[in-house]
Amino acid sequence: MSGQQDQTVVDHHKHEQFMSQPESPTSDVHPGHRRTSGAPPSEDGQPHVRPEQIGPAVFERIRQRPGYDTALDDIVDAVASGRRLNVAQGETVFATPDIWSVISLGDVYRRRLHGDIAYYNVNRHLNYSNVCALSCKFCAFHRKKDDDGAYQYSIDEIREEAVKAAASGATEIHIVGGLHPWLPFSYYTEMMTAIKESAPALHIKAFTAVEIVHLARISKRGRDKQDGIKAVLQDLKDAGLDSLPGGGAEVFDDRVHDEAFKGKIRGEQWLDVHRAAHELGINTNATMLYGHIETRRDRLHHMQLLREQQDRTLREWAVKFGVGLQKAVNHDGEEHEAVVLTGPDTNGRQPQAGDTPNGYHQTIIPLPFFPDKSDLEHLPSPSGLENLRTLAVSRLMLDNIPHVKAFWIMQTLAMAQLQLKAGADDIDGTVVWYDITKVGGTGTSQECSVSDLTRAIREAGFRPVERDTLYRPVARQGSAWSIAG
C-alpha cells in the first residue's frame, strides 16, 4: 500500500472506545488547578490556562493496567518527578509494545502544560512557487522551470491572497516554496511589504531554514556564513516577516541527508538559521520528517539536538522566572544545564510572547513521510500506531518546547484527535491551500472549517481555544478578531 497512510490500525470502533474511555490516564487531578478563562498570560509568566496537577494515582493506574511493560518503570518515575529522559529511555519508549502507557505518559506532560485546552488557528497557506533548484528524493512538490505544473506567484497575486486571507478572518499567512533559481532577493522582501501593506494585521510566518540559506546565496551573502544569515533575516524582518515555520529540518543525520536530501542544508545549518532567528527576537517552529529511511535512533538524535539548542535559548528566561535547571548530558556526552518545562514543580510555566529576551522554538511538529510520486515511492508510509507513538515520544523527549502540533493535513483529522490524547495540544488551522503533501490523493485545496476543528477537539475531550501564531488566545466576532484580554 505504497503511498497510502495505514490508518486502519485504529478502526472506527477502537477510535470511539479510546475517545470515551472513562478512566483517562490523567483523570485523577487535584481540583481547583484549572483556570477556564481565555485571559492572556499574566506579568509573572503564568500561562493563560492553569495546568492540571497530576496526582500519584495516575502513575499507579498506568502501572496496574493490563499489559503494562515493567521496562517502563524508571520512565514512569522520571515523568512523575519531572526528570529529563535520556536517549536510552527514549529508545525504550519507542521499543515497548505497551503503547498505551507511552501515550498516557505523553498525555501527562501535555496536561501539566496546557490542562484541557487544545489550540487551533484561522490561517491560510501560500506556496509561492514549486520551481526548485533541488531534486530531493522524498519530494513530489518540486518542478523545474519548464515542467508541466510549474508555477510562480507574482507580487500582485500574493497581495490578492493576503487580502482574501484577511477578509476571511485569518490571523496568519504561512508561506513556503521551492528554491527558485532565478527570483531575486527583492522578490521576497517585496512579498513581505506587499502583505503588510494590504493586510497589516496578518502575522507572516514564512520561509524554511533551507529557503533562508538560499536567500543568503542569491543576495551574495552566502560566504558571510552566520552574519549573512542574520543580515537576510533582518532584512526580511524589517520588510514584515514575523516568524519562521519549522520545515526543512527533515532528520538531523548525515547518512539520511546524503541519501534522501542530498544538496539540501544539513542539520547544523538548519539549527544555525533558527539560532540566528532567535537572536533577532524571531520565534520559530521545528519539524521532524519520519518514516522513510531513518531509524528511531536517528529521530531521538534529532530531538536531542533540538532540545539542547532550546536549553541554551531559554536559559536566561528560566533563571528570570525561577524555572529550575537540571543537570543533563548532551549528545557529545558532556554535562550541561537543561530547562525542563514539563515537571510537576513548574506549574505549567512556559515562555510567552514578550517575556523572553529572544525568540525560541514554540512548537515541535512531527511529520509522517508520504512517498507518493517521489523517488522513494517504494517505501511504505508509517502506520497509525507509529504516528501515535512518535508524537508521544516527541512530547516526552522535547520537554522544553511548549507545544506539540498534530498537523491534521499530514496526520488526517481523525489521527489528530487521537494524538491530542498522546501529547499534542494543537491541531493547526483552517489551511485552505496546501501543495506540499496530499494525503490519500487529496488535492491542493485542503480546507477545514472552524466548526470542523472545534468539533474534532471537543470529541477528543478537550476545550478548543483559537490562538494566534504566538499562542495568544483570540477573541472573535465573525471575521473581526483581536487578542483576548
Residue 215's closest CA among 200, 227, 202, 228? 228
| pLDDT of 148 above 70 | no
Return the domain boundaries, the chain.
107-478
| pLDDT of 42 above 80 | no
> Do the beta carbons of residue 20 and residue 52 sit within 8 Å?
no
| pLDDT of 89 above 80 | yes
Distance, CA of 485 to CA of 464 (rounded, Å): 17
Residue 3 contacts by C-beta under 8 Å, 6 or more apart in sequence?
370, 371, 372, 373, 377, 381
As a whole number, the mean pLDDT across the chain is 84
pLDDT of amino acid 12: 34
Between 91 and 260, residue with greater pLDDT: 91
Band the pLDDT of 47: cuts 50, 70, 90: very low
> Do the beta carbons of residue 100 and residue 67 sit within 8 Å?
yes
| pLDDT of 137 above 60 | no
pLDDT of amino acid 31: 30
Q: Give the pLDDT mean for 419-441.
A: 72
| pLDDT of 441 above 70 | no
Placement of cell 502513575 in the chain: 59
Residue 204 contacts by C-beta under 8 Å, 6 or more apart in sequence?
172, 173, 175, 192, 195, 196, 240, 241, 242, 243
pLDDT of amino acid 15: 36
| pLDDT of 167 above 80 | yes
Q: Give the pLDDT mean for 95-109.
A: 97
pLDDT of amino acid 375: 64
Phi first, then psi, for residue 58 (nearest 5°) are -60, -45
> Do the beta carbons of residue 315 and residue 336 sit within 8 Å?
no
pLDDT of amino acid 373: 57
Distance, CA of 293 to CA of 296 (rounded, Å): 10
Q: Give the pLDDT mean for 454-458.
A: 95
| pLDDT of 38 above 60 | no
- In this structure, of 24-28, 209-213, 254-258, 460-464, the range with the lowest mean pLDDT score is 24-28
Whole-Å CA distances, 75 to 23, 86, 181, 388: 21, 10, 49, 18
| pLDDT of 190 above 60 | yes
Please state the three-class secondary structure of the chain as a single string. Answer: CCCCCECCCCCHHHHHHHHCCCCCCCCCECCCCCCCCCCCCCCCCCCCCCCCCECHHHHHHHHHCCCCCHHHHHHHHHHHHCCCCCHHHHHHHHHCCCHHHHHHHHHHHHHHHHCCEEEEECEEEEECECECCCCCCCCCCCECCCCCCCCECCHHHHHHHHHHHHHCCCCEEEEECCCCCCCCHHHHHHHHHHHHHHCCCCEEEECCHHHHHHHHHHCCCHHHHHHHHHHHHHHHHHHCCCEECCCCCCCCCHHHHHHHCCCCCCHHHHHHHHHHHHHCCCEEEEEEEECCCCCHHHHHHHHHHHHHHHHHHHHHHHHHHCCCEEEEECCCCCEEEEECCCCCCCCCCCCCCCCCCCCCEEEEEEEECCCCCCCCCCCCCCEHHHHHHHHHHHHHHCCCCCEEECCHHHHCHHHHHHHHCCCCCEEEECEEECCCCCHHHCCCEEECCHHHHHHHHHHCCCEEEEECCCCCEEEEECCEEEECC
> Do the beta carbons of residue 124 and residue 165 sit within 8 Å?
yes
Q: Give the pLDDT mean for 468-480.
A: 94
Band the pLDDT of 159: cuts 50, 70, 90: very high
Q: Is 204 left (phi over 0), alpha (psi -120 to 50) or beta?
A: beta
| Tens digits of residue pLDDT in 259-318 | 777 767 888 999 999 999 999 999 999 999 998 888 999 999 999 999 999 999 999 999
Residue 294's closest CA among 210, 382, 365? 382
| pLDDT of 146 above 90 | no
pLDDT of amino acid 255: 87
pLDDT of amino acid 433: 46
pLDDT of amino acid 259: 79
Query: What does pTM read for this prediction?
Result: 0.86
- In this structure, of 251-255, 353-357, 413-417, the range with the lowest mean pLDDT score is 251-255
pLDDT of amino acid 130: 81
pLDDT of amino acid 449: 87
| Tens digits of residue pLDDT in 10-22 | 333 333 333 334 3
% of residues, the chain, pLDDT over 70: 80
Q: Given 3.10.105.10, 3.20.20.70, 3.40.50.450, 1.20.1250.20, which CATH number is that of 107-478? A: 3.20.20.70
| pLDDT of 110 above 90 | yes
Band the pLDDT of 257: cuts 50, 70, 90: confident
